[in-house]
Amino acid sequence: MISVNVLNCEAASFQKAPTPSKLKLLPSARKSVKVKRMSKRFYITTAIDYVNGQPHLGHAYEKVIADVIARAKRSLGQETFFLTGLDEHGQKVQQAAIAEGKSPQAYCDELAATWKAFAVKLELTNNDFVRTTQTRHKEVVQAILARLYEQGHFYKKVYRGFYSTREETFLTEKDRRPDGTFDPAYGEVAELEEENYYFKLRSHQEWLIGYLEKNPSFVCPDYRRNEVLGFLRNHLLEDLCISRPASRLNWGIPLPFDANFVTYVWFDALTNYISIPAALGDPGVPPELNRHPPTSANPNSDAQPALWPADIHVIGKDILKFHSVYWPIMLKAIGAPLPKQILVHGWWQKDGQKMSKSTGNVVDPIAVIDEWGVDAFRFYVLRELDIGPDGNWTDAGFRARYSAELANGLGNLVNRSLSMLKRYRNGMVPPVSNELSADAERVVAETLALLEQNQLQSALQSIWSLVTKANQYVDHTAPFKLAKDPAKAARLDEVLYNLAEVCRILAVLLWPFLPSTASKIHGQLGLEEAPDRFAAARWGGLTPGLAIGAPTPLFPRKEV
Ligand code: MSP
């Protein structure tokens, strides 16, 4: 459920916000500059993680989802830009740095190295890595704040209430438990009186409801959209407190119009999705925000990718309100188009319990990857949990999938198919045969349709139907028996071609999900290039006469 009240300082009066005028081009931008408009890239983002935590399963899951979608789009021929990164401002970071005797910047720099290494470990293909302490980001946040301030979207007022440092927000009466206390999850709660700046959200409420109604795929899955709509229809939006007094918190982006305040960390963080395009000179962002707009001397180029509006923001269910209420309203006020979709995933538990460091009930993705390999990790999270509901990690479930689907399923298929080709045909691909082509074509079509709807779990199920079919084909055709009878040489050729070709097509289909495994399959087939073009998943692509490489197990069986 969306929490109603924890994020705003107080219900504010019904003030009519000025309708943001259509952004006017700067004089320089208005001059007719002949620039080639590069075609818009598919632009996908993840939430930016709080720098002051350790990377865990939930972070890894989200990043892997975004990576699979990004790789799939590229494989389908669409230029793609994938952004991930870190949320580095706020009181928690400031306090953690002080506790370690470090400056907040030095503290963030150290942790950022861990997070960047984590992205590499997951084999993410992100095109950029944003850190909210970077100048390129801060400049855009300030440009947006200055603009919204000038246009009258903010006002200042005093508010007295109970403040949770852990959540960096004021709590209200609704947050109290029946015994009058606040949930320990809020950490230390102190009574504060504070003057702050507020963003007038309420005047945009009806517009947002209408927008969600008219754009059913804006929030996915459907039940999350219904949650947002239910919330908006049943509650008056409270204005958003967008500042924190610098006297209390100075680890933030100063408000450009009042140096006594820094920017509320969520306003800062959400802006990352557009600050990086703006910093790169994306022609799709409002001209006032664009840091490197194309000019005739510097025409639009790859260095200034056309990104905005984002195609997908991948986020977890806990931060839905920020992305489906605050962010659209911020963008409307800025005069920028809205992202096309907010794709909301569920939360992982371990053994049916909330993961918690204090009880030791956690899944450490790095330890899992070190022991089982990154593709085993990617496979389990994507195959086990559809994007939407909550999931439950169990070590036994992980091992069962590794053993049945990876080692005995895919691994066994590839290893025995290529080993037999090596043994019986000296590793030379026989003439084309089409016995499994219909099965392969069905799975290729299904996978394509499912990828287009971001149905990653179902796509894996479909791909595994081909793995199973091909393994059964080995059992039925028994090539090891055919090999003993010279009169059956032509039949053996057929069987071996079908198996090798299925392995090749599987490599192409698996590329977005299990990139290392897909590359290994290609390599073992003697194919040098990466299996990164979906169009290659067409039956008959394996050339007769090709000499395959050495078969080696993809997923070694493990004694448990
Ligand atoms: N910094 C904010 C996001 C700002 S985006 C403009 C934040 N950071 S976070 O580190 O707490 O969470 C990052 C992402 O990880 C969120 O999308 C969150 O939902 C996700 N997950 C954190 N724990 C999770 C699980 N246990 N399971 C699945 N995803 C979870 O929120």
Identify the domain containing residue 94 by its residue range.
Answer: 39-345
Residue 532 sits in the same domain as residue 440: yes
Q: How many residues does the chain have?
A: 560
- Is 10 buried (19+), middle (13-18) or exposed (0-12) by CB count in 10 A? middle
Q: How many CB atoms lie within 10 A of CB 539?
A: 19
Specify the amino acid at residue 472.
Q
Q: Which of 57, 59, 323, 385 to mutate to test the pocket of ligand 1 (most atoms within 8 A of CB)?
A: 59
The domain that holds 433 is classified in CATH as 1.10.730.10
Residue 416 sits in the same domain as residue 338: no
Maximal C-alpha separation, the chain: 92
Residue 422 sits in the same domain as residue 328: no
217 alpha carbon – ligand 1 mean position (Å): 22
Residue nearest to atom 23 of ligand 1 (CA): 58
Atom of ligand 1 nearest to the CA of 316: 19
Q: Which of 2, 50, 356 to mutate to test the pocket of ligand 1 (most atoms within 8 A of CB)?
A: 50
Is residue 354 in some structural domain?
no
Residue 83 host element (H or E): strand 80-87
Residue 148 sits in the same domain as residue 290: yes
Residue 341 sits in the same domain as residue 398: no
Residue 341 sits in the same domain as residue 402: no
Q: Both tokens of residue 460?
A: 């894996």
Amino acid 248: pLDDT: 87
Residue nearest to atom 18 of ligand 1 (CA): 316
Q: Both tokens of residue 432?
A: 């084309």
How many angstroms separate the CA atoms of 139 and 231, rounded? Answer: 33
Is residue 94 in some structural domain?
yes
Residue 407, φ and ψ in degrees, nearest 5? -70, -55
Q: Are strands 258-263 and 240-241 parallel, antiparallel or unpaired?
A: unpaired
Report how many domains make up the chain.
Answer: 2
47 alpha carbon – ligand 1 mean position (Å): 6
Is residue 334 in some structural domain?
yes
90 alpha carbon – ligand 1 mean position (Å): 16
Q: Which of 347, 381, 392 to mutate to test the pocket of ligand 1 (most atoms within 8 A of CB)?
A: 347
Residue 182 sits in the same domain as residue 97: yes
Amino acid 296: pLDDT: 67
Residue 250 sits in the same domain as residue 119: yes
Is residue 241 in some structural domain?
yes
Residue nearest to atom 8 of ligand 1 (CA): 49
124 alpha carbon – ligand 1 mean position (Å): 17
49 alpha carbon – ligand 1 mean position (Å): 6
Residue nearest to atom 13 of ligand 1 (CA): 49
Tell which residue, 168, 159, 139, 154, has the closest CA to residue 201: 154
Give residue ranges with CB within 6 A of ligand 1.
47-50, 53, 58-59, 61-62, 87, 269-270, 315-316, 318-319, 347-348, 355
Amino acid 246: pLDDT: 95
Is residue 370 in some structural domain?
no
Residue 304 sits in the same domain as residue 411: no
One digit per residue, the tens of pLDDT, for the chain of length 560 reads: 343 332 333 222 222 223 333 323 233 333 444 445 569 999 999 999 999 988 999 999 999 999 999 999 999 999 999 999 999 999 889 999 999 999 999 999 999 999 999 999 999 999 999 999 999 999 999 999 999 999 999 999 998 889 887 787 888 887 889 898 999 888 889 998 999 999 999 999 999 999 999 999 999 999 999 999 999 999 999 999 999 999 988 999 999 999 999 999 999 999 999 999 999 999 999 999 988 877 666 666 667 899 999 999 999 999 999 999 999 999 999 999 999 999 999 999 999 999 987 888 999 999 999 999 999 999 999 999 999 999 999 999 999 999 999 999 999 999 999 999 999 999 999 999 999 999 999 999 999 999 999 999 999 999 999 999 999 999 999 999 999 999 999 999 999 999 999 999 999 999 999 999 999 999 999 999 999 999 999 999 999 999 999 999 999 988 76
Residue 515, φ and ψ in degrees, nearest 5? -65, -35
The domain that holds 191 is classified in CATH as 3.40.50.620
How many angstroms separate the CA atoms of 296 and 258, rounded? Answer: 37
Residue 522 sits in the same domain as residue 413: yes
Is residue 543 in some structural domain?
no
Q: Both tokens of residue 532?
A: 């990164």
Residue 480 host element (H or E): helix 479-482
Amino acid 358: pLDDT: 80
- Is 549 buried (19+), middle (13-18) or exposed (0-12) by CB count in 10 A? middle
404 alpha carbon – ligand 1 mean position (Å): 31
Residue 305 sits in the same domain as residue 422: no
- DSSP assignment of 378-426: HHHHHHH--SSS-EEE-HHHHHHHIIIIIIIIIIHHHHHHHHHHHHHHT
Q: Which of 87, 276, 321, 327 to mutate to test the pocket of ligand 1 (most atoms within 8 A of CB)?
A: 87
Helix (H, G, I), strand (E, B) or coil at 295: coil
Is residue 460 in some structural domain?
yes
Q: Both tokens of residue 514?
A: 């299990």
Is residue 558 in some structural domain?
no
Atom of ligand 1 nearest to the CA of 269: 6
- Select from 345, 378, 404 the last residue of a domain: 345
Residue 274 sits in the same domain as residue 415: no
Amino acid 168: pLDDT: 78
Q: Which of 141, 265, 270, 315 to mutate to test the pocket of ligand 1 (most atoms within 8 A of CB)?
A: 315
386 dihedral zone (left: phi>0; alpha: psi -120 to 50; beta): beta
Query: Are the C-beta atoms of 320 and 224 separated by less than 8 Å?
Result: yes
How many angstroms separate the CA atoms of 471 and 459, rounded? Answer: 19
Amino acid 4: pLDDT: 33
